[in-house]
A and B are shown apart, each in its own frame.
Chain A
Amino acid sequence: MKNIFIKTMIIVLLTSASACDQSLEEINIDPNYPNPETVAVEYFFPSAVASTAGVIGGDYNLIGGIWSQYWTQNNASNQYKDVDAFIIQPSTFELGFAELYAGALNDLKFVKNRSKADGNWSYYLMATVMEAYTFQVVADLYGSVPFDEALRAEEGLLHPVYREGSVIYDSLIVRIDNALARDLDAETSENPGTADFIFGGDMEKWIQFANTLKLKIYLRQVYARPNVAEAGIEALYNAGAEFLSEDAAMTQFVDQQDKSNPLYEQDQRRLNTPNNLRASTTLFAYLEANDDPRLSELYQPGTPGQPLRPLRQGDFNAPNSGATLATGLARALLRPTDPVYFISEPESYFLQAEARERYFGGDEAKELYDAGVDAAFDRFNLNGGSFTDAGGAYAYPVAGTFEEKLEQIILQKWVAMAGAQGLEAFFERNRTGYPAANIVDGEWVDYGSAGWEPGKTTYPIEGVSENERLPRRLLFTDYERTRNPNTPNQMPFTTPVWWDVNPNSQYF
C-alpha cells in the first residue's frame, strides 16, 4: 500500500516536472510583442512620421487654424470655446506634445541610433530631418523644450532639462548638416521604398526637404539673430542648395476609421458633432472680397445647398437664430484623405521668395512668389494665374518697399496654409506681423466698424486674454509640470518666444 502511494507520488511529480521544462525566465518573455532590438528600422520610421503628422495635422492644425482665424467655434456647440476665447490651460493640447516626444521623437531617435550603427545613411537622413522638423515645431510653440537630455529614460535620465529655442536651433542645423554629409549611396544605405511615406524613397527630395527646413529655421530667427540668419542662408545658396518643388507631406490617408487625416478623424469622424469649426469672417471676407474660388474649397455650407455664410471670430455666443442660425453657417471643409503637410510646395516658394528679397536684391522673388500662389491654387486644381497677373488681386508689388513685398508674401502664405498648416501660419504671423491686425489708434476694431479691413487679424469677440493680447505660445504642460521637476516656471501664453521680437508683430 505504502509502495503504491509512493509510486503514484513519483509519477505525479514527474508529470508536473515535465510541465516545468520552460525556465521561469523564458516564461516571462512576452509572446505578444517583439523585442525592439529584433525589429528593422523600416518598421519604426513610418510610425514616427505618422505620429508627427497626427499632431501637426491634427491638434496643431486645429489650434493654429483657429488662432490664424480660418475657423471659429460654432455658436451651437462648445468644443473649442477655450481655444477661441484664449482660455489657455497647461492641459491645453498637452496630448500633442506628449505624442511628439513619446510617439515620434523617441522612434526617430531609435531609427537614428540604429541606422548610424549600421551605416544606413538614407534612414539616418530621413530620421534626422523629421527629428529636426519636429523639434523646431515644439520649440517654437513652447519657447524652450527638453532637447539634449530628452528621450533618454533607458539611461535613467528621467527629468530632462529644458533648453532655450535658440540653442536647439543651432544644434538642429549641425545635426542636419551631419546627416547631409553622409554617403547616401553607400551599400549599407537602404532604399526605404514605401516605408518612406513622404517621398517613396527618393533621397534627392529628402536633401531638398533638409535644405528647405534649414531655410525655414534661418528665416524664423531673422529678427532675433539677423546675422545668424543671413550667414546661414547665404551659405545655403552658395553651396547650390536645391529646395522643395513639391509638397513634403504624408498622403497615405484613406476614408476609413483609424486611417484618415488626423483632423478629419478627431474633429469630424469621432467627435460627437462635426460642426464645431465654422468659417471665420477674417479669412472668409478676404477670399470673398477677392472673388477667390478657394472659398468653396475651404468651406462648405452649413446645410447642403445653402449659401456660404461666415461667423465672426470668437462669436460663439451669438444667438442661434437669424443671421447666425448655426445650421446656416459655413463649416470647415475637411476631407478624410487630406494630406498632412510638413513643408508644402507653396510654402517652399514663399520661403525662397522672402530669402531672395532679403539677401539677393529680390532676384527671382516675383517668380517664386507667383509660383507659390499658383501652387496654392493648384492644390485644388484651380488656376491662380489671373490673380498674380499685373493688376490681379494678388499681384506682387514689384515696385513696393521690402515690407510691402514681405506682407504680400506672408499674406498669401497665410491663405495658402488655410485649413492645412494652421500652426505654421500662426508662427509666421508672430514673426512678421502678417496678416496685420485690425487695430486703429491702439484699439482693436470690431468687424464691420470703421477702419476694419477684411483679411486682417481681429480680436475674438469673446476673447478674454489679459489686455486683449494674442497668444504667442502654449503653457508648459500639466504632464510635464507634474512629472518633470525640471520644467521651468510658467510664462504667460501672451509672452513671445525668443525669435518673436519683430516690433511689427507686437500689436500693443
Chain B
Amino acid sequence: MKQILLSVFLGISLACPVLAQDRTISGSVTSAEDGAPLPGVNVVVKGTTTGTVTDANGSYTLQVPTAGTTLIFSFIGFVTQEIEIGARGSIAVKLAPDIKELSEIVVTAIGVERSEKSIGYAATQVNSKELTQGRAVNPMASLQGKVAGVNISTASGAPGASTKVIIRGYSSIEGNNNPLYVVDGVPINNAANSNLHDATNVDINRTQDYGNRANDINPDDIESITILKGASATALYGSRAANGVIMITTKKGNADALRVDVTSSVTFSQPLRLPQFQNTFGQGWSGIFASEENGSWGPRMDGEMRFWGNTVDNARLIKPFSPVKDNLRDFYETGTSYINSIGISGGNDKGTYYISYGNVQEDGVIPSGADAYERNTLSVRGSTRGSKLSTSSGINYVNKKANIVTTGQGSDAATVFQEIIQIPRDISIVDLKDINYKFNNLDNYFTKYAQNPYYPVLKNGNDYNEDRVYGNFSVSYAFNDWLNATLRVGGDVSNAQVKDWIAIARTSPTSPNFDVTQTAGRVDERSRFASELNGDFLVTAGHSFGESIKVNSLVGVNINDRKTNNFHAYVTELGIDDFYNLSNSPNPPASTRVASHRRLLGVYGQIETSYNDYLFLNVQARNDWSSTLPPGGNSFFYPGANLSFVFTEAMDLSGPLSFGKLRASIGQTGNDADPYDVYSIATPGSVSLPHGDIIFPLSGVNAYEVYNELGNLNLQPEITTEYEFGADLRFFNSRLNIDATYYNGLTRGQILKVDIPFTSGYSRRISNIGKVRNSGIELLISGVPVRTENFSWEMSANYTKNVSRVEELMDGLDKVTLNEIYDLNYVAKVGKPLGMIQGYDVERDPQGRVVVNAADGFPKILPDKVDFGSTVPDFTLGFSNTFTYKGVGLSFLFDYRHGAWMYSYTRHLNFFVGNATQTLYNDRQPFVIPNSVINVGNDDQGDPVYVENSTPIDMENVNSYWYHSQNPSRGRDFLVEKTFLKLREVVIGYDIPKHILSKTPISALNVSVVGRNLWLWTPKDNNQVDPEASNFGNDLMSELGEFAVGPTVRSMGFSIKATF
C-alpha cells in the first residue's frame, strides 16, 4: 500500500534518477537530558544532500553512499553532533539541549529558509498545534490574540463569515490593506466574497458575507504559519506584500513510515452578545399605547391583560402588558459545527507524500438552515529528492457551499436583523414563528412598519457554491554545492455560483397592512470566476570567504497574472410564488458582465552576508512593472536592508541572559492601483434616485453617460518606507523571553478616489492623495514560570500599540470623506488617526451652555460636523497560559482591545424604537436640557444675548430627542466604544498515555474540550453589540462599524485527534 501510494505521488512530480546507494545505517536518537526519544531530528550524510528525519519513536534508517563517512544529527534546541560512521551499521545518539543555539528555521520571503537568528526584522511563526487546538474552522481565526502587531477579527458569528487580518495598522486609505497570503511560496487569491459589491465602496443594502478565500484552507493541513510584518521582510514579494505576508507552509509528509492522522470535532455555538433591552416601557409611541407600533415608546408595562395586534376575523389576541425579557435570545438556536479531517503521509529518502481530506459542516444560530456552511477540501502533495534535482508539488481542491442570512438594510426586501429589533418589549418573538398563522402573516402582522422577522428567514435565501483548485509545482536543480536554480509555478482558479432570491410579499387590499410596500420578488444569479497564475524563476548561490564570512545571494524574476470575470443577472416582479428562476418575470433580466485583468512583472535580488554566525546583513531590492499604472510610469523600484546582531555569541556574557539579538531594518514596498483607474470611461445610463433608480434602456432607447470617476494618467504607486528596531532577549535558559519591536512606516501617495465637488462634473477623481504614518510597538513576553517533571506552566503576553496618523492630504484638502451613514461621516483627516467618525454637535454659547430653540427646547445644531472619535484602537493585548500536568493540558487565551469607536446601526435602531436601556433617561418624563440657554436677540454691540432655557422637551417629543432626524446631535449616541476583553480560547486536552495505546494501532491519541469566545466584557454603555462585528467587508471600512449585522457567537465542543 505504502509503495503504491508513494509511486502515485512520485508520479505527479518529475521522475528522477535513483542514485547508487551503498549501505544502510539505522539507529535512534534520544535526549541526553531525559532519555526521551526525539522525533523529527535531521540526519544528513555530511557533504551530501542525502538525509532523513527520525520518526515518532526517534528511530531512523538511512542509506549512505559509499563516499559518506560522517552523519550529522541536528535538531532545534539541541547541540548538533557529527558522528563518524566507521564500520557500524547502527548508531544511537544522545543529543544535548542547547539553549544558545536557538537556530529555529523560519521561512522567509520567496520560500527561503533561514535560521531565526539571522533575521533582521520581526517575523512570527505559529505552529500547527496552536492553529488547530481551538478547532476554529478557518486558520486565521485561530491566530486571534496570539501575534503582536496583527489585528484579527471575524466579521460575525455567521458560518463561513470573513476574517479580517490587518498587520501594523491601515496604511492605504482606499486600497487593499489585507496581507498577501502565500501558500508554499506561491501567492493565493484572498478576495472577499462579501457584499458582492465593490470591496472598497461599501453599500449598506443587503450585505452578504460569503467569506474571504484565505478561509478555504484546512487548518489541519498546515504545518506552520509565518507572519512577515515589515517592509524589509516582505520586499521580495513586491507590490502585493505592502501590507505584510501570511506565509503558510503546508504539511508535506516526512520520510517516515506510513502515518495516518484523524481529527474529529464537534462544537456548539450560541450568540455571544445580544442587545440588552429596557423592560419598563411597552409597545407604543410618544408615551401612548398603539397596537400597530414597531417600538417601545408606549406606557409603562403594568402587567394588565391587553389586546394586541390586529383584528382578524373579528378576533384579537390577548396577552399581559409585561416584558418578554428573553424574547430576542429565544429567537436563536444552538448552532453546530462538525470538523473532520484525515491526513495520510509518508515517504522515504527519495520522496514524500501527503494526502488529506477535510470536511466542515456548520449550521448557525439562526433558526432553520438559512445560515449553513459546508466545506470539503482535498489536498495531494508530493516531493522527490535527488542529488541534483528535487521537485515538489501540491494540488488542493476546495468546494464550499453556503447559505447566509442577508444583513444590512433591506432595499428590495426586509432583512431579519433589522426587523427583529423593531419588536416591542412585550411581544414574544418565537410566537411569531408560524408565518402562516393568521395573526402572523403579512396581512395581519401586528405592525405595518416592519415585517415578521421569520418571513425573510424562511422565505428569502441564497445558495452559494464555489469550486476552487489551487496548487503549485516547483523544481530545483543543484548545479553544484553552491549554485541552485528553482522554477516555481502556482495557480489558483475559482468559480462561484451565487443565487439569491427574495420572495413575493404582497398584502391584501382589505388587510390592515395593505399600505406597506409590496415586494414584487427578485432573483439574482451570479457567476464569479477568478484566476491567478504566478511564476518565479530564481537562482541562489552561496559562498564562504574563509571561516568567518558567508554570503548567500539570490536573483529572481516573477510574473503574476490575475483575472476575474463576473456575470450578474436579475429579474424583479416575479410571477409564480416560491419559484426562483430568471424566467419567472414579465421583464427581461438585467445583466452585466464585469471582467478585470492585471499583470505584474518583477525582478528581485538579495544578498545575505554573515560574519562569524553572529552578525548578519541582508540587502534586497525589487523592481516591479504593473499593468494597472499608466504607461511610462508603471515601473517602481524598492530596496531594503536588515541587520541582525547576536551579541551573546559575539561576546562572552555571563549572567542570566542566555541569548540576545538586536535587529534593525529599513525597507520600501509599493502598492499599485486597481485595474482601470487610469482612463476615463462611459457607463450605461442611469439616474440615482433617493430610493431606487431609473435605468436605461428606456422605451427602446439605450444610453451611456460619462462616468463620474475621473481617471488619472499620472497615477503613481503607493510607496511605504518603513524602518524598525528590535531585540530578542532570552533569560535563564529561555525561561523568560522578551521580544520587542519598534516600527515606523510612512505610506505616501495613497491612491484614492477622492471626492470632488459634483459641480466639477465628476464625483471622484483617482489621485495619489495622502501620507499616512503608522508607528508602533510590538512586545512579546513569554516564559515558563514553573517546569517540573510532571507539571509545567507556560505563559505568554503580547502587546501592540499602533499609532496611526494622516500626515498630509494633497490638493489642499484637510479631510477626505470615506463613507457616510445617516449624519455621520467617516473621514481621513490631517493630523488624526486614519478613520475618524464625525457628526453634528450642538451649538453652545461662550460659556459652553447648550443653545436651544425656544419653541421646542431642542438643541440648535452647528453647521459643521465635529470629530466624534477615532476607529483606531489605542492598544491590544493578548495573554495566554498553558498548564500541563502529565498528559493533561489546560490553556486559555484572553484578547483585549482598548479604545476607539464604531458606528452601530443595531444600537441606532434600538434607540429609535425605544428598546435601548439608554432611552430610559429621566424615566421618559419631560425634561429641560441641563445647562441650556436660548438666544433672545442681540445687545447693543451686536453680540447675541442668552438667557436660561426653561422650555422642556415635551413628553411626546422625548423619542424624537433621542433620534438624529429631529436632533442630529444625538448621532453621537449611535457610536459604541470598541474596547473589549474576550476569553478567546480555552482548551483542556488529555494525551492518552502511550502504554495504554501500545496494544492498539493508535500511536497517539488526544481528546480535548475546546471553547472559543466564551466570554465578552465591554464597557457598560455598550450593551448592544460585539465590537468586532462588521458587515462592511474586511478592510478599513469595516472599522466604521456595523449595519444590522448578526451576532457573533461563543462555541464549545469536543475534539479527538488520533495518529495511526
Contact, CB under 8 Å: B688 / A153:
no
A88 to B657, CA, bound (A): 69
Q: Which residues of chain B have C-beta atoms less than 8 A from A45's C-beta?
A: 703
17 A-B residue pairs with CB within 8 Å: A2-B388, A12-B535, A16-B559, A28-B598, A36-B707, A109-B761, A152-B761, A153-B756, A194-B699, A252-B698, A253-B698, A269-B517, A273-B515, A274-B515, A303-B514, A479-B758, A490-B863
Q: Which residues of chain A have C-beta atoms less than 8 A from B1021's C-beta?
A: none
The 9 A-B residue pairs whose C-beta atoms are closest, nearest first, are A47-B685, A270-B692, A54-B687, A252-B699, A151-B761, A484-B757, A106-B761, A98-B758, A47-B703
Tell yes or no: A32 within 8 A of B by CB: yes
Q: Mark A107-142, 1 if CB is under 8 A from B, else 0.
A: 101100000000000000000000000000000000
Q: Which residues of chain A have C-beta atoms less than 8 A from B707's C-beta?
A: 33, 36
Q: Mark B509-523, 1 if CB is under 8 A from A, else 0.
A: 100001111001000
Binds A, one of B315-323, B625-633, B1011-1019: B625-633
Contact, CB under 8 Å: B761 / A101:
yes
Tell yes or no: A238 within 8 A of B by CB: no
Q: Which residues of chain B have C-beta atoms less than 8 A from A44's C-beta?
A: 682, 703-706
Binds A, one of B673-681, B719-727, B875-883, B926-934: B673-681
A5 to B856, CA, bound (A): 86
Tell yes or no: B595 within 8 A of A by CB: yes
Of the candidates A30, A47, A95, A479, the one whose C-beta lies within 8 Å of that of B757 is A479
A29 to B711, CA, bound (A): 12
Of the candidates A46, A55, A150, the one whose C-beta lies within 8 Å of that of B685 is A46
Given A44-B704, A54-B689, A271-B517: A150 and B694 within 8 A (CB)? no
With both chains docked as a complex, state the minimum distance between the C-beta of A332 and any C-beta of chain B, in angstroms. Answer: 13
Contact, CB under 8 Å: A28 / B627:
yes
Tell yes or no: B304 within 8 A of A by CB: no
Contact, CB under 8 Å: A24 / B627:
yes
Tell yes or no: A19 within 8 A of B by CB: yes
A46 to B812, CA, bound (A): 37
Contact, CB under 8 Å: B965 / A24:
no
Interface size on A, residues (CB 8 A): 105
Q: Which residues of chain B have C-beta atoms less than 8 A from A379's C-beta?
A: none
In this complex, what residue of B is CB-closest to A272?
A: B517
Most chain B CB atoms below 10 A, which of A30, A78, A254: A30
Contact, CB under 8 Å: A36 / B812:
no
Q: Which residues of chain B have C-beta atoms less than 8 A from A490's C-beta?
A: 863
Contact, CB under 8 Å: A273 / B517:
yes
Contact, CB under 8 Å: B628 / A33:
no
In this complex, what residue of A is CB-closest to B825?
A: A482
Binds B, one of A156-164, A181-189, A344-352: A156-164
With both chains docked as a complex, state the minimum distance between the C-beta of A237 and any C-beta of chain B, in angstroms. Answer: 35
Q: Which residues of chain B have C-beta atoms less than 8 A from A272's C-beta?
A: 449, 516-517
Q: Which residues of chain B have C-beta atoms less than 8 A from A271's C-beta?
A: 517, 691
Contact, CB under 8 Å: B487 / A12:
yes
Q: Mark A1-40, 1 if CB is under 8 A from B, else 0.
A: 1100100110011001001101011011111111110010
With both chains docked as a complex, state the minimum distance between the C-beta of A321 and any C-beta of chain B, in angstroms. Answer: 9
With both chains docked as a complex, state the minimum distance between the C-beta of A503 and any C-beta of chain B, in angstroms. Answer: 25
Q: Which residues of chain A have C-beta atoms less than 8 A from B686's C-beta?
A: 47
Of the candidates B533, B689, B695, B855, the one whose C-beta lies within 8 Å of that of A266 is B689
Of the candidates B680, B756, B856, the one whose C-beta lies within 8 Å of that of A483 is B756
Q: Which residues of chain A have C-beta atoms less than 8 A from B535's C-beta?
A: 12, 16
Contact, CB under 8 Å: B956 / A81:
no
With both chains docked as a complex, state the minimum distance between the C-beta of B791 and any C-beta of chain A, in angstroms. Answer: 55
Q: Which residues of chain B have C-beta atoms less than 8 A from A81's C-beta?
A: 965-966
Within 8 A of B (CB), among A231-275: 252-254, 256-260, 262, 265-267, 269-275
Within 8 A of B (CB), among A449-504: 464, 479-485, 487, 490
Contact, CB under 8 Å: A275 / B515:
yes
Contact, CB under 8 Å: B856 / A464:
yes
Tell yes or no: B763 within 8 A of A by CB: yes
Q: Mark A43-77, 1 if CB is under 8 A from B, else 0.
A: 11111101101110011000000000000000001
A482 to B698, CA, bound (A): 35
Tell yes or no: B794 within 8 A of A by CB: no
Tell yes or no: A208 within 8 A of B by CB: no
Give the total number of A-B pairs whose CB atoms are below 8 A apart.
289
Contact, CB under 8 Å: B696 / A46:
yes
Contact, CB under 8 Å: A5 / B389:
yes
Tell yes or no: B651 within 8 A of A by CB: no
A479 to B757, CA, bound (A): 7
With both chains docked as a complex, state the minimum distance between the C-beta of B468 and any C-beta of chain A, in angstroms. Answer: 21
A470 to B182, CA, bound (A): 64
Interface size on B, residues (CB 8 A): 99
Q: Which residues of chain A have C-beta atoms less than 8 A from B329's C-beta?
A: none
Tell yes or no: A178 within 8 A of B by CB: no
A180 to B760, CA, bound (A): 27
Given A24-B634, A58-B689: A46 and B694 within 8 A (CB)? no
With both chains docked as a complex, state the minimum distance between the C-beta of A337 and any C-beta of chain B, in angstroms. Answer: 11
Q: Which residues of chain B have C-beta atoms less than 8 A from A13's C-beta?
A: 537
Contact, CB under 8 Å: B598 / A27:
yes
Q: Which residues of chain A have C-beta atoms less than 8 A from B590's C-beta?
A: 258
Contact, CB under 8 Å: A34 / B681:
yes
A9 to B474, CA, bound (A): 12
A269 to B695, CA, bound (A): 15
In this complex, what residue of B is CB-closest to A151?
A: B761
Contact, CB under 8 Å: B695 / A195:
no
Contact, CB under 8 Å: A28 / B676:
yes
Given A36-B706, A266-B691: A160 and B759 within 8 A (CB)? yes
Contact, CB under 8 Å: B290 / A320:
yes
Q: Which residues of chain A have C-beta atoms less than 8 A from B448's C-beta?
A: 273
Q: Which residues of chain A have C-beta atoms less than 8 A from B595's C-beta?
A: 31-32
Q: Which residues of chain A have C-beta atoms less than 8 A from B678's C-beta?
A: 28
Q: Which residues of chain B have C-beta atoms less than 8 A from A265's C-beta?
A: 689, 691-694
A2 to B765, CA, bound (A): 54
Given contacts A8-B475, A24-B625, A46-B701, 18 further A-B contacts (CB under 8 A): A20-B599, A30-B679, A36-B682, A45-B703, A46-B703, A53-B687, A59-B690, A77-B449, A102-B708, A106-B761, A109-B761, A146-B760, A153-B765, A154-B680, A158-B756, A158-B757, A254-B699, A303-B514
Contact, CB under 8 Å: A25 / B692:
no
Q: Mark B236-270, 1 if CB is under 8 A from A, else 0.
A: 00000000000000000000000000000000000
Contact, CB under 8 Å: A33 / B856:
no
In this complex, what residue of B is CB-closest to A97?
A: B758
Of the candidates B687, B756, B965, the one whose C-beta lies within 8 Å of that of A99 is B687
Contact, CB under 8 Å: A24 / B599:
yes
Q: Which residues of chain B have C-beta atoms less than 8 A from A36's C-beta?
A: 680-682, 704, 706-707
A159 to B864, CA, bound (A): 19
A259 to B699, CA, bound (A): 9
Q: Which residues of chain A have C-beta atoms less than 8 A from B479's C-beta?
A: 2
A55 to B449, CA, bound (A): 27
Tell yes or no: A304 within 8 A of B by CB: yes
In this complex, what residue of B is CB-closest to A51?
A: B687
Of the candidates B598, B676, B706, B811, the one whose C-beta lies within 8 Å of that of A158 is B811
Within 8 A of A (CB), among B975-999: none
Tell yes or no: A505 within 8 A of B by CB: no
A412 to B676, CA, bound (A): 54
Tell yes or no: A416 within 8 A of B by CB: no
With both chains docked as a complex, state the minimum distance between the C-beta of B914 and any C-beta of chain A, in angstroms. Answer: 14
A22 to B956, CA, bound (A): 68
In this complex, what residue of B is CB-closest to A159?
A: B757
A278 to B626, CA, bound (A): 58
With both chains docked as a complex, state the minimum distance between the C-beta of B287 and any C-beta of chain A, in angstroms. Answer: 13
A392 to B569, CA, bound (A): 57
A54 to B694, CA, bound (A): 8
In this complex, what residue of B is CB-closest to A263?
A: B689
With both chains docked as a complex, state the minimum distance between the C-beta of A369 and any C-beta of chain B, in angstroms. Answer: 34
Tell yes or no: B594 within 8 A of A by CB: yes
With both chains docked as a complex, state the minimum distance between the C-beta of B597 and any C-beta of chain A, in angstroms. Answer: 5
Within 8 A of A (CB), among B802-848: 811-812, 815, 817, 823, 825
With both chains docked as a complex, state the minimum distance between the C-beta of A93 and any C-beta of chain B, in angstroms. Answer: 8
Q: Which residues of chain A have C-beta atoms less than 8 A from B388's C-beta?
A: 1-2
